């Protein structure tokens, strides 16, 4: 348990907020945050018990994995999935069988890291909203982006940077001087199928596999946030057609995503799906019960193993 505290290096905890230095992110201390803290505590205790069990009962090892430039905390998918898949974490990349490039930056320098061991997520260097929308249009053949000066009706304005959750609805067309730098403008996807919530899916993707699909319901007045009213776990075939599944996999390949998460919405008017976000350092959906959370991460770990050629 003492090793757990190393994950708080560079984190400033204040009564009203928590600041994460390496991602330059500030998270308010509210009810949602406190619920996440409780969920993470349960996860840490689970893995501590699992580690204690392995002292007495041998467990299979799939090799050693190192994380560069940052070491993920227990609140990240890869931390949980890699452990459940039997990977040992090492700090020295030269002693690792695999190196996971855990870089929270929206834009990364191509070819920045060079290691002799196989690297995971080494080639995904741009997860900006604009790039995601451009790749999406190339693969799917229809657009998420709009021109705010000519589009008529509501649209979404949000930061081009990843992970800010600052989307807001604006009415278009906008005067050129009202178009904000550093923002992207996209179609407002109407996923309010129940009329009471906004729905979307978060997918855990690993090496050509859709490992997990989280079906999330959000309040209409907080559709761009991370507050979920309910979440259930589905199989890909329950929500996507075979053609959509294939296009999702092609999209992830074009993004050069090896392991991560993507957010998808379906518009109730045209029935098409839209990929709105890509995350290479993704977190789990914390509001799930622990048993279901572990089951999802185990699936992700199994997909990770298969992708690395481990049976």
State mean pLDDT over 202-213: 97
**Three-state SS at 50:** helix
Which residue has better confidence, 14 or 109? Answer: 109
pLDDT for the residue 148: 96
- The span from the CA of 102 to the CA of 121, in Å, is 8
Question: What average pLDDT is seen over the chain?
Answer: 87
Q: What percent of the chain has pLDDT over 70?
A: 84
Rg (CA), the chain: 20
Say whether 294 sits in a helix, a strand or coil: helix
Q: What angle do CA 174, 177, 183 make, to 5 degrees?
A: 75
Of the CA atoms within 13 Å of residue 256, those in its CB half-sphere come to 13
| pTM attached to this predicted model | 0.87
> CA 33 to CA 12: how far, in whole Å?
15
Question: In degrees to the nearest 10, what's the CA dihedral of 15, 16, 21, 24?
Answer: 180
Give the DSSP per-residue string, 202-234.
EEEEETTEEEEEEEEEEEGGGTTSS--SEEEEE
* Domains with residue ranges and CATH for the chain: 2-125 (no CATH), 129-279 (3.30.470.20)
Give the pairing of strands 197-206 and 209-219. antiparallel
User: For 148-156, what is the mean pLDDT?
Assistant: 95
Residue-by-residue DSSP string for 107-139: B--TT----SS-EES-S--B--HHHHHHHHHHH
Q: Which of 17-21, 97-101, 280-284 has the lowest mean pLDDT?
A: 17-21
CA distance to 55, 80, 287, per residue, from 294 (Å): 20, 8, 12
Most confident of 36-40, 110-114, 233-237: 233-237
Residue where the block lists tokens 């992700």: 300
Of 230, 223, 294, the closest CA to residue 39 belongs to 294
Q: What are phi and psi of 261, to 5 degrees?
A: -135, 150
Task: Specify which of 16-20, 268-272, 284-288 reaches the highest per-range mean pLDDT.
Answer: 268-272
């Amino acid at each position: 348990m003492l090793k757990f505290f190393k994950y708080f290096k560079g984190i400033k905890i204040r009564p009203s907020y928590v600041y994460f230095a390496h991602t330059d992110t500030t998270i308010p201390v509210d009810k949602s945050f406190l619920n996440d803290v409780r969920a993470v505590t349960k996860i840490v205790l689970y893995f501590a018990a699992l580690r204690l069990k392995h002292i007495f009962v041998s467990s299979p090892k799939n090799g050693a994995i190192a994380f560069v430039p940052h070491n993920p905390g227990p609140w990240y998918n890869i931390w949980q999935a890699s452990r459940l898949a039997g990977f040992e974490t090492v700090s020295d990349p030269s002693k690792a069988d695999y190196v996971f490039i855990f870089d929270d930056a929206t834009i990364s320098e191509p070819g920045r890291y060079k290691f002799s061991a196989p690297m995971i997520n080494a080639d995904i260097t741009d997860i900006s909203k604009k790039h995601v929308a451009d790749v999406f249009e190339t693969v799917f053949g229809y657009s998420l982006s709009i021109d705010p000066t000519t589009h008529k009706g509501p649209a979404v304005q949000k930061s081009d940077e990843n992970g800010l959750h600052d989307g807001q609805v604006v009415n278009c067309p906008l005067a050129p001087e009202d178009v904000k730098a550093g923002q992207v403008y996209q179609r407002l996807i109407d996923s309010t199928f129940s009329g009471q919530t906004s729905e979307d899916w978060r997918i855990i993707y690993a090496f050509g596999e859709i490992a997990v699909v989280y079906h999330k319901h959000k309040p209409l007045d907080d559709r761009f946030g991370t507050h979920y009213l309910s979440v259930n776990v589905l199989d890909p075939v329950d929500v996507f057609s075979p053609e959509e599944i294939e296009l999702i996999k092609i999209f992830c390949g074009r993004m050069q995503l090896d392991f991560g998460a993507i957010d998808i919405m379906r518009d109730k008017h045209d029935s098409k799906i839209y990929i709105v976000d890509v995350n290479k350092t993704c977190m789990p959906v914390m509001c799930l019960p622990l048993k279901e959370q572990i089951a999802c991460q185990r699936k992700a770990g199994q997909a990770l193993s298969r992708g690395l050629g481990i049976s």
